[in-house]
Chains A and B, each alone.
Chain A
Amino acid sequence: MSRRRPSPPSLALPGEPYGRRSFLRRGLVGAALLALGGGGWLATRKTRVGPSAAGPLKVLSPQEAAVLLAVADRLVPERQGFPRPRALGLATEMDAVVAMAHPATQLELKRLVRLFESAAAGLLLDAQPRLFTESTPAQQDQRLRAWQTSRIALRRTGFHALKRLVYASYYASPETWSAVGYPGPPVETGVAGRRAR
């Protein structure tokens, strides 16, 4: 899947069955964004992949994993006792979660990640003509907040998809439990799950 040529970003988010067409119905900004996303110079900017984003990924490309890790860095900023997402191997964890979804859902998520990262979308939607991964932490928080509080329901949906993926993967990891004071389950059970993950 990751070997296919990436399609231009569109706002076909989880839950949107019609992809481009339904997006176009949502107005001029969207139409302009699609045009730019398809061929504009900003769309040629490439996400740089750090060493920790690489790994045995099943569904996400190394670039997509790098974007999600950057999002995770802002959703869980540095705080005493909270492990860094990279240290947990969160990219692999998130990839495993995405891999469980329906192929169409996987594709939507990948498109969402590319759109969120894209400089063209940043420019048009949030006056930030740069990749998310190349923005400062303050700019990144601003971009996240813009998606979270957007008047366009689809962008809010997109924000929630990213947020849920990051937090579900991060806080499901036993290494984070001491940070939140969770002592873990009172009894030890089960081998089936441990084998599989």
Chain B
Amino acid sequence: MAERDAGRIFTGREVTSDLDLTADVCVVGSGAGGSVVAARLADRGARVVILEEGGFYPPGSLPLSEAAVYPRLYQEGGARATADLAITVLQGRTVGGGTTVNWTTSFRTPDRVLAHWRSVYGLDALTPAALAPHFDAIEKRLNVHEQPDDGVNPNNRVLHDGAGRLGWEVARTRRNVDGCQNLGYCGFGCPIGARLSADQTFVKDALARGARLHANARAVKLVREKRRFTEVVAEALDPATDLPTGRTIRVRPKLVVLAGGAINTPALLLRSGIDLAGKVGTRTFLHPVAAMFGKHPAPIEGYYGAPQSVASHQFADRGAGKVGFFLEAAPVHPMLAATALGGFGAEHEELMAALPHASALIALSIDGFLPKEEGGTVSLRSDGRVRLDYPVRPEIWEALREGCKALARVHLAAGAEAVYSLHDEPVEIRGELDIPKLDRAAWEAGRVQLFTAHQMGGCRMSRDPEDAVTTPELRLEAHENAFVVDGSVLPTSVGVNPQITIFALAHWASDHVASAIRLG
């Protein structure tokens, strides 16, 4: 390939007049999916333009305060949620996408999940053997390795020791870090650039090979002529206010790669009038999360130290008809804790006053595997805002309830004085005899706080054209020159933290994307 000057990142402030760009490939989104495709295509000589709606905040550029980072690094200023506010949606929105605020837990896609995808969705190519070289390449670039024992903070130690004493499977996790100082601020955008997120790796690789990235560039419409996309229209946003500046960026590519994530990719398709007979934006899965706060006699200081370094998959497979779940820890910073904790007034203050002694453990339900499980739906409101609905099925409520019981037992086994659910009327557990209280609690939307940090589906890949939004090679159905390469193609949830799955799938899919264009 010809030598090409390195590309760079342009912010919205630099777009002082309307721009018309031509490219071989226009990638919408710079997270785990988009960054890898951009880097791999640029490596093959493609002229790549990346559009990223979020801003560009290099490591250390933001103060480590929740008030500063949530509005800048998260979707909807950190306020994204399901329409009924029952599930808080933590989802990144910045150069590097979700990987830039990810808590670094790095699992490969479990074999049983791949087997399910092959048998139910005809994704025959996705075998552990076929994907292994792609996982290897990703893990090498992201320096994925097991967290050393002395890097397990007291919050994760609660899960490690508690589950261990109960005789449950529990293990230290692998993390994508290099030179990590275990500060505890992964979710704030690593202040020292030690987390090898997309912005620190594949985005840089893409830029080094000539790609051009526009931050603060919100793709608003895909323009089509019959089955071919001719143009991606984006509006430039002011980095200070996040409001449109009035400048437009038009990219005319040979090929479009949609990589805005499981909520924004379906939304962009819908905005462009593409719903593929109502399939776009359906079957969204979230790993719905419930949490239990443990008050421990010793200081936990859950705001410091690597936020996640231990996981238990003891209950991931609970048999046919039951929804599995896995157990992890969550960081305990004041704002996140305050909005999560149940109740209000003096009772809430009492829990907040115990913050240094609080351990937060989470149960993540593995959705999407029941027969006819529909999950959630992404749609557009009449005023253009994206809307996410997720009716929690009884089987998922059951899993969250059992998950909270398991977490309560872990806390108690690790020596907690008291354990609290996140119900509006928090369930207090001081011993094994209190655990049945959780059976009597209200497991209903809006009566117990739920979360999701893992958004999947909405543009599912499938062999069956009647069911698919993308082909098994991630090509957008019924169109000639578009691929979807992000978490939205996943036909179910993953059963583990999904970032490595999305990175590796993008690495694998890059070959298919490359074969779809003639370069030059």
Q: Once the chains bind, are A148 and B424 in contact (CB under 8 Å)?
A: yes
In the assembled complex, which residues on chain B have CB atoms less than 8 Å from the CB atom of A192? Answer: 57, 61-62, 68, 72
Q: Which of A15, A186, A193 is within 8 Å of B72, CB to CB?
A: A193
- Measured in the bound complex, the distance between the Cα atoms of B387 and A157 in whole Å is 15
Q: Once the chains bind, are B383 and A102 in contact (CB under 8 Å)?
A: yes
Q: Which of B83, B192, B424 is within 8 Å of A15, CB to CB?
A: B83
Given contacts A15-B387, A194-B68, contact A181 B83 (CB under 8 A): no
- Measured in the bound complex, the distance between the Cα atoms of B92 and A70 in whole Å is 33
- Measured in the bound complex, the distance between the Cα atoms of B69 and A82 in whole Å is 23
| Chain A residue with Cβ nearest B69 | A193
- Measured in the bound complex, the distance between the Cα atoms of B86 and A121 in whole Å is 23
Q: Which of A104, A144, A160 is within 8 Å of B385, CB to CB?
A: A104
User: Hey, what's the 0/1 contact readout for B228-269 against A, CB within 8 Å counting as 1?
Assistant: 000000000000101000000000000000000000000000
CB under 8 Å from chain B, chain A span 128-165: 141, 144, 148-149, 153, 156-157, 160-161, 163-164
Q: Once the chains bind, are A170 and B338 in contact (CB under 8 Å)?
A: yes
User: Hey, what's the 0/1 contact readout for A174-189 against B, CB within 8 Å counting as 1?
Assistant: 1011011110011111
Q: Once the chains bind, are B84 and A182 in contact (CB under 8 Å)?
A: no
Given contacts A15-B81, A192-B57, contact A167 B65 (CB under 8 A): no
The stretch of B197-205, B322-330, B346-354, B485-493 that contacts the partner chain: B346-354
CB under 8 Å from chain A, chain B span 125-151: none
In the assembled complex, which residues on chain B have CB atoms less than 8 Å from the CB atom of A75? Answer: 344-345, 348
Tell me, yes or no, whether A17 is within 8 Å of chain B by CB: yes
Tell me, yes or no, whether B394 is within 8 Å of chain A by CB: no
In the assembled complex, which residues on chain B have CB atoms less than 8 Å from the CB atom of A188? Answer: 63
CB under 8 Å from chain B, chain A span 61-87: 74-77, 79, 82
Given contacts A77-B349, A197-B67, contact A153 B62 (CB under 8 A): no
| Chain B residue with Cβ nearest A158 | B85
In the assembled complex, which residues on chain B have CB atoms less than 8 Å from the CB atom of A127? Answer: none
Q: Once the chains bind, are B335 and A168 in contact (CB under 8 Å)?
A: yes
In the assembled complex, which residues on chain B have CB atoms less than 8 Å from the CB atom of A180? Answer: 334, 352-353, 355-356
Q: Which of B60, B70, B355, B424 is within 8 Å of A182, CB to CB?
A: B355
Q: Once the chains bind, are B240 and A77 in contact (CB under 8 Å)?
A: no
In the assembled complex, which residues on chain A have CB atoms less than 8 Å from the CB atom of B315? Answer: none
How far is the CB of B427 from the nearest CB of chain A, in Å? Answer: 15
Tell me, yes or no, whether A28 is within 8 Å of chain B by CB: no
CB under 8 Å from chain A, chain B span 156-203: 183-185, 191-192
| Chain B residue with Cβ nearest A160 | B85
Q: Once the chains bind, are B65 and A193 in contact (CB under 8 Å)?
A: yes
In the assembled complex, which residues on chain B have CB atoms less than 8 Å from the CB atom of A126? Answer: none
Tell me, yes or no, whether A105 is within 8 Å of chain B by CB: yes
Task: Tell me the interface secondary structure of chain B in the complex.
Answer: loop
In the assembled complex, which residues on chain B have CB atoms less than 8 Å from the CB atom of A77? Answer: 345-346, 349
In the assembled complex, which residues on chain A have CB atoms less than 8 Å from the CB atom of B85? Answer: 14-15, 157, 160-161, 164
In the assembled complex, which residues on chain B have CB atoms less than 8 Å from the CB atom of A182? Answer: 303, 333-334, 355-356
CB under 8 Å from chain A, chain B span 52-83: 57, 60-72, 76-79, 81-83
In the assembled complex, which residues on chain A have CB atoms less than 8 Å from the CB atom of B387? Answer: 15, 17
CB under 8 Å from chain A, chain B span 335-367: 335, 337-339, 344-346, 348-349, 352-353, 355-356
- Measured in the bound complex, the distance between the Cα atoms of B347 and A74 in whole Å is 11
Q: Once the chains bind, are B352 and A17 in contact (CB under 8 Å)?
A: no
Q: Which of B60, B77, B303, B304 is within 8 Å of A190, CB to CB?
A: B60
Chain A, interface size category, equals: 35 or more
Q: Once the chains bind, are A16 and B83 in contact (CB under 8 Å)?
A: yes
- Measured in the bound complex, the distance between the Cα atoms of B86 and A168 in whole Å is 16
- Measured in the bound complex, the distance between the Cα atoms of B194 and A187 in whole Å is 14
In the assembled complex, which residues on chain A have CB atoms less than 8 Å from the CB atom of B356? Answer: 180-182
| Chain A residue with Cβ nearest B239 | A192
- Measured in the bound complex, the distance between the Cα atoms of B339 and A170 in whole Å is 10
How far is the CB of A133 from the nearest CB of chain B, in Å? Answer: 17
Q: Once the chains bind, are B63 and A189 in contact (CB under 8 Å)?
A: yes
Q: Once the chains bind, are A189 and B344 in contact (CB under 8 Å)?
A: no
Tell me, yes or no, whether B446 is within 8 Å of chain A by CB: yes
How far is the CB of B177 from the nearest CB of chain A, in Å? Answer: 16
- Measured in the bound complex, the distance between the Cα atoms of B57 and A193 in whole Å is 10
Q: Once the chains bind, are A174 and B65 in contact (CB under 8 Å)?
A: yes
Q: Once the chains bind, are A79 and B349 in contact (CB under 8 Å)?
A: yes
Q: Which of A76, A153, A189 is within 8 Å of B446, CB to CB?
A: A153
In the assembled complex, which residues on chain B have CB atoms less than 8 Å from the CB atom of A156? Answer: 424, 446-447
- Measured in the bound complex, the distance between the Cα atoms of B387 and A170 in whole Å is 27
Q: Which of A79, A171, A191 is within 8 Å of B335, CB to CB?
A: A171
Most B CB contacts (10 A, CB to CB) among A14, A82, A163, A189 go to A189
Most A CB contacts (10 A, CB to CB) among B63, B184, B424 go to B63
Q: Which of A149, A171, A187, A193 is within 8 Å of B338, CB to CB?
A: A171
Tell me, yes or no, whether A101 is within 8 Å of chain B by CB: yes
Q: Once the chains bind, are B339 and A164 in contact (CB under 8 Å)?
A: yes
In the assembled complex, which residues on chain A have CB atoms less than 8 Å from the CB atom of B64? Answer: 185, 187, 189-190
Tell me, yes or no, whether A123 is within 8 Å of chain B by CB: no
Q: Which of A104, A149, A187, A194 is within 8 Å of B191, CB to CB?
A: A187
Q: Once the chains bind, are B349 and A76 in contact (CB under 8 Å)?
A: yes
- Measured in the bound complex, the distance between the Cα atoms of B338 and A179 in whole Å is 13
Q: Once the chains bind, are B71 and A100 in contact (CB under 8 Å)?
A: yes
Q: Once the chains bind, are A17 and B339 in contact (CB under 8 Å)?
A: no
How far is the CB of B181 from the nearest CB of chain A, in Å? Answer: 9
| Chain B residue with Cβ nearest A185 | B64
Q: Once the chains bind, are A163 and B344 in contact (CB under 8 Å)?
A: yes
| Chain A residue with Cβ nearest B82 | A15
- Measured in the bound complex, the distance between the Cα atoms of B64 and A187 in whole Å is 8
Give 8 pairs: A residue, B residue, CB < 8 Å, sorted on A: A76-B349, A101-B76, A163-B344, A164-B79, A168-B335, A185-B185, A186-B183, A192-B57
Q: Which 5 A/B pairs are nearest by Cβ-Cβ distance?
A: A193-B68, A185-B64, A15-B83, A172-B67, A156-B446
